[in-house]
Structure 1
């Protein structure tokens, strides 16, 4: 689903009569609120029009035959299937709206002065998690801007951390392999060498400049420090679409999970979020839309698991260029009407920040 406008839409999707639509809507809304199956007696008390439990049961049976509802175990109640949730989101969902106070709060959190861009993006992800009771995602593509500082820090066991700080405050970290027993002075010398050449250069320009110097033997670096420089710059070689994916609130996905198979599914989801492929796919999904997109179950092709939904929006700068992706991942009983406008507005604010 691509939500280009958050204005209310027609209340009746194709293929459903008003009575069936009202019952499906009420079941989904109860599912979102409680997660429990909904029975005919409960519906008869909650529906705006008077219907007998027997009539409701007949409609529920038709909706079940259509693949929109299912009965968990031996329960007399019903829950929506992914197909039923999709129909609800596409045709029955009434979007909420953000108050001026809520908009001001989002802006104040994201535009606070004196913080790095990485801290701002982390706060954005945590804010989305808190507002949605799910996991918040913020993806910032790799910056092509100027580099402010590069540093190498020993991690032990033949590894070092390369810390790159952009002129816009963005921080990226990569781990490189270094010779065992490399003296700390080699890391310091490598950092000093690169920082002395950063002025006014992007990462690609710096890499090209340093490569030329080394090829012409125009450096005063010793062999070990030269190796650190080459390894450090090589971690970004060919990574034209990399970036940073910040996920906050993963523990919220486990809050109501008790079954071993569900815990395994969520853990697989966590592992998937750590991969570079996921970052690229998120950008692809964002680029394919003008507004908020909602994926239910395995629809996105990103995770291949059921029981999980994702709401994602592109962050665009003033030139309408994609500069990131904002989203929420959680159980299919997300409060879509509440989350969609939050994700949409947050994406707009982040787009201005990253633009």
Structure 2
């Protein structure tokens, strides 16, 4: 049974400060913080000059009883537990503005006016950028609904069966079977294709659905019933291609995870993390969980099954299309001592830029 998360009121001012220093030392150095080291630091900084190592050890014992810290070895200092990290993130961490250098790099590389490649190229670049800015592995979960329609065509195969040919601006071509009304004239297929190409070219799936909904009366006046059925079938086939297809997962920057690895247990953790990253289906499912919530989410260690062995953390945020629908996610994965305070605003800002890229009218 998991221990309940302590409340901030459970800690007095001195205990809060010591806990915070244990966590800060772990996030910056990756090492346990001992009572003697902490006592010396407090004396030198004149923060708590009268606090002895014995008193600090008593406070650390109290923190250990609350499940917030642990001693990895006998006579060692303390490290934060996963519960302690979650408590720190929720109760202590203050998220500021994105660092200026990170903002400049993202603005320069994800400016919609400068994008010449496909959506996939841009999202791959985004993953690489996140990796470089955070020293973790950059993640992008992309949806095919990001693809913008370039051309659509209807072809009759049988009296009641047709083929929809969907060509995206990124050059991808997809074919989908649709049902046709018995006796549908060939002119209805041509008229439906002309209508969709005239009104929906350059739009994503979400934008196309929104545009048709807004033009419902105009569509009814412009097209007859049978032609409207073909139009609806064409859009439905596009949406259906989404539902049955796993989303694309882009991972860049694995080499960053090998830096500062010294202990054998760290190497084993990284090996397990690489196995997690290879489980793309499971990772995509985890990232898809972000589509039920707005804003940045932080997963720490065993809070999710995928990272239960490697003890890794993930910071992730969704991005949206023109219709306001969540169509993917961007994020960073790394050890539990990620610089959460710095990375959260980077991931959040990246998600807003990607939303602009996939939906220029936002």
Q: Which residue of 2 aligns with 1:175?
A: none
- 1:1-355 correspondence runs (5 A): 13-47=8-42, 48-50=47-49, 51-99=51-99, 102-111=102-111, 112-143=114-145, 145=147, 167-169=168-170, 203=174, 206-208=175-177, 240-257=244-261, 262-274=266-278, 275-284=280-289, 286-355=290-359
CA RMSD after TM alignment: 3.1
Q: CA deviation at 1:301?
A: 2.9
Q: Is the 8 Å Cα contact of residues 142 and 240 (structure 1) preserved in structure 2? A: no
Distance 2:341 2:265 in 1: 29
Q: Deviations over 1:83-108 (max 9, x none)?
A: 11111111011223225554233122
Structure 2 unmatched ranges of 5 or more: 1-6, 152-164, 181-239
Q: Is the 8 Å Cα contact of residues 144 and 242 (structure 2) preserved in structure 1? A: no
Q: How many equivalent residue pairs?
A: 275
Q: Is the 8 Å Cα contact of residues 97 and 345 (structure 2) preserved in structure 1? A: yes
Q: CA deviation at 1:272?
A: 3.4
Q: Cα distance 1:24–1:244, how it changes in 2: closer, same or farther (>3 A)? A: same
What is the TM-score with the length of structure 2 in the denominator? Answer: 0.67
Q: Which residue of 1 aligns with 2:218?
A: none
Q: CA deviation at 1:79?
A: 0.8
Structure 1 unmatched ranges of 5 or more: 1-11, 150-163, 172-197, 212-235
Q: Which residue of 2 aligns with 1:178?
A: none
SS of 2:23's equivalent in the other structure is helix
Distance 1:55 1:261 in 2: 31
Structure 1: which 4+ aligned runs deviate by more than 4 Å? 144-149, 236-239, 258-262
Q: Which residue of 2 aligns with 1:161?
A: none
Q: Deviations over 1:51-80 (max 9, x none)?
A: 222211110111112211111223431111
Q: Deviations over 1:240-290 (max 9, x none)?
A: 352211111112222334555654543343333343232133112x12322
